[in-house]
Structure 1
């Protein structure tokens, strides 16, 4: 059921034409510049603080190793978003993928977040994963709504689970999407390709 996702891809948004492509080692400096311009709170979307050079370098090594797949959104050659799929084939959950996503404030509310979430979701589907999860702080309601539109549902609330660089603790909500279950239900009704179509739906964001 897995399929190959080809890049680069061009998508028209209210912010203009956005290019999606996989992050490569040569992108490290551009991604660091993007990350360092993000509000501290936004970085809590990611499992690591990629605004720190040494952390980003380790992140790039994980990409090279194949443990992380990062998708960049670029406008006129500048990084304006990053969607990441994390999976560990050697863990007890090789069938599960963890999605993280951040978007520049300059393009928010112009459809870039929606397009990036759809593309990252489609990338995860193409990897043949059975379940997807995403985490965010409870006050990031726009992001929660965005992923709920893709079929994600709240599964857990983790109190004081992350601490930002200022020492403030934040609650985290965990959303999950049982891709295998939904795919099985759709196939039972003779709609085997409908799950992939879910990645094309969603509200403007």
Structure 2
């Protein structure tokens, strides 16, 4: 599928207007500056530590190759958050996308996370993703609530699955959403324009 969503786009949230735009491989420095504002605990539900320059470089390379699609939330040139859809076209799970959403601490509690998650969800449908997965530590209740509000449901709990910088282990919850079923239901009710 092709991307028909329009970017950049300005959206309103409690903290003021924010621009949603697609990440480009030239955004490495801005993403690194954003990531370095995040706590070590915030980074635990991501597969890699994006506060490290070599990890951001790999992210930009994967973006260039098309395996990762990221929507940035930007205000006054600074990245406030991002929503990423990761797909592996060569795997047995090529119909599955992993959704990763993270905000800098000062932008939380203003509705931006929900808007960014909704945006990524709609983009995943356009990209042809049939199932979306998300993972986070079990104590990230706000994030879990946002995903559950979109229809994600817990599929797995992985005990002691990640280890923080101090060597403490944390449980990860895996949430999933059947995007293809959702899209079919929306089409059946004539509501597909609600995702535009």
With the length of structure 2 as denominator, give the TM-score of the two structures.
Answer: 0.94
Q: Which residue of 2 aligns with 1:92?
A: 92
Any unmatched runs of 5+ in structure 1?
201-205
Cα-to-partner distance string for 1:12-70 (whole Å, 9 max, x where unaligned): 00010010111112211111011011011111232111100011111110110111111
Secondary structure of the structure 1 residue equivalent to 2:165: coil
Alignment coverage as a number of residue pairs: 196
Any unmatched runs of 5+ in structure 2?
none
Displacement after TM superposition at 1:192 (Å): 4.4
Distance in 2 (CA, whole Å) between partners of 1:70 and 1:176 is 19
1:151 has 2:137 as partner? no
Distance in 1 (CA, whole Å) between partners of 2:113 and 2:23 is 17
Cα-to-partner distance string for 1:143-175 (whole Å, 9 max, x where unaligned): 000001111111110111111222221100011
Cα distance change of structure 1 residues 56 and 166 upon mapping to structure 2, 3 Å threshold: same
Secondary structure of the structure 2 residue equivalent to 1:47: coil
Cα distance change of structure 1 residues 118 and 185 upon mapping to structure 2, 3 Å threshold: closer
Cα distance change of structure 1 residues 71 and 185 upon mapping to structure 2, 3 Å threshold: closer
Cα distance change of structure 1 residues 60 and 28 upon mapping to structure 2, 3 Å threshold: same
In the alignment, is the contact (CA less than 8 A) between 2:45 and 2:172 conserved in 1? no
Q: Which residue of 1 aligns with 2:5?
A: 5
Q: Which residue of 1 aligns with 2:189?
A: 191
Distance in 2 (CA, whole Å) between partners of 1:176 and 1:192 is 24
Distance in 1 (CA, whole Å) between partners of 2:186 and 2:72 is 31
Distance in 2 (CA, whole Å) between partners of 1:135 and 1:2 is 26
Distance in 2 (CA, whole Å) between partners of 1:80 and 1:3 is 23
Secondary structure of the structure 1 residue equivalent to 2:177: strand
With the length of structure 1 as denominator, give the TM-score of the two structures.
Answer: 0.90
Alignment of 1:171-190 (within 5 A): 171-187=171-187, 190=188
Q: Which residue of 2 aligns with 1:203?
A: none
- 7-16 or 162-171, which deviates more: 162-171
Distance in 2 (CA, whole Å) between partners of 1:110 and 1:119 is 16
Secondary structure of the structure 2 residue equivalent to 1:151: coil
Secondary structure of the structure 2 residue equivalent to 1:13: coil
Alignment of 1:109-124 (within 5 A): 109-124=109-124
